[in-house]
C-alpha cells in the first residue's frame, strides 16, 4: 500500500479541515495516510500522530516572543515527528502549515532533503515564500531577501534584528536541496510566490482551496431563528471569525452593527466571539462562542442573508467557501486574497476598513430567496468541491518525478 503523511500545525480550523479532508480522500483510494499535527486532540495511533506537547508549545511561544522567530524552537518535537515518519517509511508528504509554535523548520527541512522526500506544499498562507512572516502585509522586502524587516517589533528587534533575513536564507538553502517539491495555492498566492527568490526555478500550481460541500449545504434555519430570538422578517447579517484576531477585522463588523443599531430590519450574528467583555456590543448583535461541529456551524452559515468576512489578511478563507456552499452571498474587503474568492454574482467587495461602504451595502440587503441560495450553492459546487481538490493534489503528487 502507498504511504503518505499530511503535516499541519493543528487538527482544527481551516487548515485542520484541509488536512483531515485530504487524509480521508487518500484513504479512500488505498493510500495509508497519517495525519501529523502539533496542537489539538492528544492522539497517537495508525491514523493520527500528535508530535508536540502543550508544554513544548508554550516554550516555543516564549522563544518566539523573545527572538521573533516563528519556527526556531521545538527541536525535540520535530525529531519526534521525524522518527515517526522514518518508522513508517513515509517520504510522500503533504505540508499544509508549519508555523504555530510546534516545529523547527531547519531540522525538518534538513531531514526532508536527506531522505529525498516527495512534497506537495499547500500554501494556505504566504509563509512558504517569505522569510519569517505568514503574510506579506503589503511588504515587498521578500523580493530582496527580507532585509530589512519592518515587521519585527519589541524586544525581538533588539535581540535578533536579522531574524527575517536569517529565516529567508535558511529556507533558500533548504529549498535548493529539494528536487521533488511542488508549491500549490490559490491564484493570489501563486502570483506573489513567483516573485520570491525562494521559489525561483521551483514548480508551482494554482489550486483553489476547498470544503466539504456535503456537510456545508443549505439548511432549514427556522428552529435556529427561534432559538436566537430572531424575528421572521429580520435580515440576518452573519460573520464567523474570532474576535480576538485583529487581522480578521471583526471590529469593523461590530462598528457596522453599532451604526445600524436603530434599524430594526437587521440583526448581526457573529460566531467566534472569544472576548470576555460584551458590554460594548450593540443590542442588535448576537455573539456566539466557537463552534467546532461543522454541521452545527452550517446552520449559522445558512442563517445569513449576507455573510460578512472583514478580513485584512487571508488567502482563501474556508469560512467564505462554507458560506457560499450553504447558499449565502458574501461581503468582503477588496484586499489580500479576498477578491479571488468569487465573482460579483455571489460577492460584493468594498474598500478595506471602509465602514461607510459596508453600511451602504448592508442597508440595501434583503432576505435571500431560493434564487440567491441556488446561485451561491452552484458556485461553490463548481469551484470548491473538496473531492475534486483532493484529486488534484494526489495527481500532482503522482506527477513528481
Contact status, residue 249 vs residue 333, Cβ threshold 8 Å: yes
Paired strand residues for 181: 119
The Cα 236–Cα 282 span in angstroms is: 15
Q: Classify domain 3-210+386-399 at the CATH topology level.
A: Rossmann fold (3.40.50)
Give pLDDT, residue 122: 98
Least Cα distance to 31 among 391, 400, 399 occurs for 391
Contact status, residue 301 vs residue 282, Cβ threshold 8 Å: no
The Cα 201–Cα 245 span in angstroms is: 35
Give pLDDT, residue 158: 54
The tens digit of pLDDT for each residue in 187-206 reads 999 999 999 999 999 999 99
How large is the C-alpha radius of gyration of the chain? 22
Paired strand residues for 93: 5, 119
Q: Kindly report the number of other CB atoms within 10 A of residue 385's CB atom.
A: 18
The Cα 396–Cα 389 span in angstroms is: 11
The tens digit of pLDDT for each residue in 258-312 reads 999 999 999 999 999 999 999 999 999 999 999 989 999 999 999 999 999 999 9
- The per-residue pLDDT of the chain, averaged, comes to 94
Is domain 222-383 classified as CATH 3.30.420.40? no
The Cα 201–Cα 190 span in angstroms is: 13
Give pLDDT, residue 152: 65
CA atoms within 13 A on the CB side of 39: 21
The tens digit of pLDDT for each residue in 107-132 reads 999 999 999 899 999 999 999 999 99
The tens digit of pLDDT for each residue in 23-66 reads 999 999 999 999 999 999 999 899 999 999 999 999 999 998 88
The Cα 354–Cα 42 span in angstroms is: 42
pLDDT reading at 1 higher than 90: no
The Cα 354–Cα 369 span in angstroms is: 28
Domain ranges of the chain: 3-210+386-399, 222-383
The mean pLDDT of 366-376, rounded to a whole number, is 98
What CA dihedral angle connects 393, 394, 397 and 398, to 10 degrees? -140
Q: Same topology for domains 3-210+386-399 and 222-383, yes or no? A: yes
Amino acid at each position: 500500500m502507498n504511504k503518505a503523511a499530511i503535516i499541519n500545525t493543528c487538527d482544527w480550523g481551516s487548515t485542520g479541515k484541509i488536512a483531515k479532508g485530504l487524509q480521508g480522500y487518500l484513504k479512500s483510494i488505498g493510500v495509508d495516510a497519517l495525519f501529523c499535527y502539533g496542537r489539538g486532540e492528544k492522539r497517537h495511533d495508525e491514523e493520527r500522530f500528535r508530535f508536540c506537547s502543550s508544554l513544548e508549545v508554550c516554550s516555543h511561544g516564549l522563544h518566539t516572543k523573545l527572538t521573533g522567530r516563528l519556527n526556531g524552537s521545538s527541536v525535540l518535537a520535530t525529531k519526534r515527528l521525524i522518527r515517526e515518519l522514518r518508522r513508517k517509511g513515509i517520504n510522500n508528504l503533504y505540508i499544509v502549515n508549519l508555523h504555530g509554535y510546534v516545529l523547527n523548520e531547519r531540522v525538518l527541512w534538513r531531514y526532508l532533503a536527506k531522505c529525498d522526500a516527495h512534497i506537495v506544499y499547500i500554501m494556505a498562507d504566504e509563509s512558504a515564500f517569505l522569510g519569517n512572516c505568514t503574510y506579506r502585509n503589503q511588504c515587498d522586502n521578500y523580493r530582496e531577501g527580507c532585509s530589512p524587516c519592518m515587521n519585527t517589533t519589541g524586544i525581538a528587534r533588539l535581540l535578533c534584528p536579522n531574524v527575517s533575513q536569517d529565516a529567508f536564507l535558511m529556507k533558500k538553502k533548504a529549498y535548493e536541496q529539494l528536487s521533488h517539491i511542488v508549491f500549490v495555492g490559490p491564484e493570489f498566492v501563486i502570483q506573489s510566490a513567483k516573485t520570491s527568490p525562494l521559489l525561483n526555478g521551483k514548480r508551482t500550481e494554482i489550486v483553489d482551496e476547498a470544503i466539504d460541500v456535503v456537510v456545508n449545504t443549505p439548511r432549514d434555519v427556522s428552529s435556529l431563528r427561534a432559538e436566537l430570538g430572531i424575528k421572521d422578517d429580520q435580515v440576518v447579517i452573519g460573520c464567523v471569525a474570532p474576535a480576538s484576531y485583529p487581522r480578521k477585522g471583526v471590529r469593523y463588523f461590530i462598528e457596522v452593527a453599532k451604526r445600524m443599531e436603530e434599524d430594526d430590519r437587521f440583526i448581526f450574528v457573529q460566531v467566534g466571539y472569544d472576548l470576555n467583555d460584551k458590554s460594548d456590543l450593540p443590542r442588535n448583535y448576537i455573539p456566539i462562542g466557537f463552534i467546532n461541529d461543522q454541521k452545527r456551524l452550517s446552520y449559522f452559515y445558512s442563517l445569513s442573508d449576507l455573510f460578512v468576512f472583514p478580513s485584512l489578511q487571508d488567502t482563501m478563507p474556508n469560512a467564505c467557501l462554507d458560506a457560499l456552499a450553504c447558499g449565502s452571498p458574501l461581503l468582503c474587503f477588496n484586499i489580500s486574497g479576498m477578491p479571488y474568492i468569487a465573482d460579483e454574482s455571489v460577492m460584493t467587495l468594498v474598500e478595506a476598513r471602509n465602514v461607510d461602504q459596508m453600511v451602504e451595502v448592508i442597508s440595501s440587503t434583503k432576505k435571500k430567496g431560493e434564487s440567491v441560495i441556488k446561485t451561491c450553492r452552484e458556485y461553490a459546487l463548481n469551484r470548491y468541491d473538496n473531492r475534486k481538490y483532493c484529486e488534484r493534489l494526489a495527481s500532482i503528487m503522482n506527477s513528481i518525478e
